[in-house]
Amino acid sequence: MAKKPVQLDEKGYRKFGIRDKLAYAAGDAGCNMSFGLKGTVQTFWLVYMFMETGLFSILLLLVQAWDAINDPLIGTLIDNDKRKYKLGKYKTYILIGACGLLIGGAAVFMPFPGANTVIKAVLFVLGYIIWDAAYTMANVPYGTMLNLVSEKAEERASLSVFRSLGGAVGGMLPGIILPMLIWNKVTFDPANPTWFLDKIEIPEGAESAFAPENFLKNPITGELYQAGDKVLSPLTGSQIEVLQGEKVFFAALIMGVLGFLFFLFMIKNVTIRGNEYAQLNDEGEKVNLLKSFGTFMKNRPAVGCTVAAMGMFLGMQSATTATTIMFATHFGQASMSGLVTMVGFLPMFIFMPLATKLVKKFGKKEVASIGSIAGLIGGAILCVFPMCPKNIQLVVYMVGLIFFGLGMGFYNCVSWAMMGDAIDYQEWKFGQREEGVVYALHSFFRKLAQGVGPAAVIAIMGTPLIGYVSSLGTIGQSAETAERLCWLVAGLYTFSAICQFVGVALIYNIDKKTLAQMTEELAARKAAE
């Protein structure tokens, strides 16, 4: 059977279509297969490796500072690279990054809980630096590719929707499956009734609560445990769940392999139709990072996108570790934390098929602004759940997440297309087109928030405000600590929703009318060249 001939556009490229959309979606699936592990990193090092909260928050802040710095550095490197590659410049860098993600993602989860503090710190810092540099190497060129796959605003919007879909799939796999694989509920074993106590350091003054005899009796009924009974914490009354570090390592390795395969699919099937070297002038003038930073700060839509993204990381992403520990200590269901969280984001998938039509009718800014209001409603509901009776708390929590997820769904479906328009805005307003640097600076602030947020939350957890004791893992936290974690999680989600609203509804200024004018004038300039 004869192969169907490939249809070409006016420039001789394969016509833009579903192949490009699926391939581009696979790229973000690959990125998020790795990114989805970041919340587990924090839980792994706090709960399994027993890293002290103060030290860990400092180390996390340091490695994330490197994470933020390396984005504009690598973005500038890519923009200034004039070498010709067989795969193309961007795809080559993505392939290098994908290989590094596979190796570094597993290295960060090396399970050595018995090592001393110095060795643990070195293992964490080295593993994370390698992993994060690889992520930047893959993600920065991947993000800048959107404007080069198509020059048409409606096709970019479609790519952004598919990117969100791919990112959601890539994030859901580790988000849902990983907690189920790595947490083990403790049942009573008469042959070794207190084996899990070997995993924790009993703090001074708590010996009575953790005395072996207290783990022989059900703290609620006072009756002796029988073989196979659920073991409950004598302090919280929740079933004890133990994090299995070895399984975390192998799960991270598997996720890395799957992510690598997603990247390969993207590299093979997406078509770059724009000029990867357009940001260099005829004289080969190199990009000046400091000058580009000043221009970026004048780019109002880029700043708006960045504020919204920073809010997402300072709030929602920072809540990941606190949420997992909240589920372990308050609900006794750490293994279900990922599934419950993802249920809240189902509206994103419901909205995605409608996104392109809604954007075409109303505009990207308009759709994202409506979403931000839904997010605010979700944040308000989440602030109510800690005050509800225990038997309905989880239901109220999920309702809040559904509204929050709806808001995030609206925003995520158009966020990257909005950022693409912001890059066009820079060319329109300032006559400069620096895709790599603009995207990298956007990523820099995202990463800065990604580091500051979790580090600050972990530090707060270790203060009397929350009362989390790192040496106890999830086994023996107090009921008061578990309740305070509920308030912390609710506050973080609410903060995230507020930042999203400010960024997309108040700062971002490319509405549907402005976009049409900008597109028309840029096309006229190119036609006149």
Given this model, what pLDDT does residue 9 score?
59
Closest by CA to 17, choosing from 179, 206, 185, 152, is 152
Given this model, what pLDDT does residue 54 score?
86
Q: What is the mean pLDDT of the chain?
A: 82
Backbone angles phi and psi of 8, in degrees to 5: -110, 150
Residue 351: pLDDT over 80: no
62 vs 495, higher pLDDT:
495
Give whole-number Cα distances, 338 to 123, 180, 258, 335, 458, in Å: 26, 8, 19, 7, 19
Q: Is 182 exposed, middle or buried (0-12, 13-18, 19+ CB in 10 A)?
A: buried
At position 512, the amino acid (one-letter code) is K
Q: Is 226 exposed, middle or buried (0-12, 13-18, 19+ CB in 10 A)?
A: exposed
184 vs 274, higher pLDDT:
184
Residue 209: pLDDT over 70: no
Closest by CA to 302, choosing from 459, 182, 143, 174, is 143
Give whole-number Cα distances, 290 to 73, 100, 276, 296, in Å: 11, 28, 22, 10
Q: Is 425 exposed, middle or buried (0-12, 13-18, 19+ CB in 10 A)?
A: buried
Residues 115-161: pLDDT tens digits? 888 998 998 998 888 888 888 888 888 887 877 888 777 788 788 77
Distance CA 327, CA 344 (A): 15
Given this model, what pLDDT does residue 1 score?
45
Helix (H) or strand (E) holding 241: strand 241-243
Which residue spans within 62-197 are E strands per DSSP? Answer: 183-185
Which residue spans within 41-173 are E strands per DSSP? Answer: none
Average pLDDT over residues 187-191: 86
- Which of 67-81, 355-369, 476-490 reaches the highest mean pLDDT? 476-490
Band of pLDDT at residue 12, cut at 50, 70 and 90: low
392 vs 524, higher pLDDT:
392
Distance from the first to the final alpha carbon of the chain: 45
| pLDDT over 70, % of the chain | 90
| pLDDT over 90, % of the chain | 15
Average pLDDT over residues 74-95: 84
- What domains are defined for the chain? 18-186+237-277+287-528 (1.20.1250.20), 187-229 (no CATH)
Contact 69, 291 (CB under 8 A): no
Given this model, what pLDDT does residue 273 score?
80
Distance CA 3, CA 409 (A): 39
**Any idea which of 106-115, 152-161, 337-346, 408-417 has the lowest mean pLDDT?**
337-346
Residues 479-520: pLDDT tens digits? 888 899 999 999 999 999 999 999 999 999 998 888 889 988
Q: What is the DSSP string of 270-301?
A: ----S-TTTTS-TT-PPP-HHHHHHHHHH-HH
Residue 44: pLDDT over 70: yes
Q: What angle do CA 477, 179, 115 make, to 5 degrees?
A: 65
Residues 458-483: pLDDT tens digits? 889 988 899 888 777 777 788 888 89
Given this model, what pLDDT does residue 36 score?
75
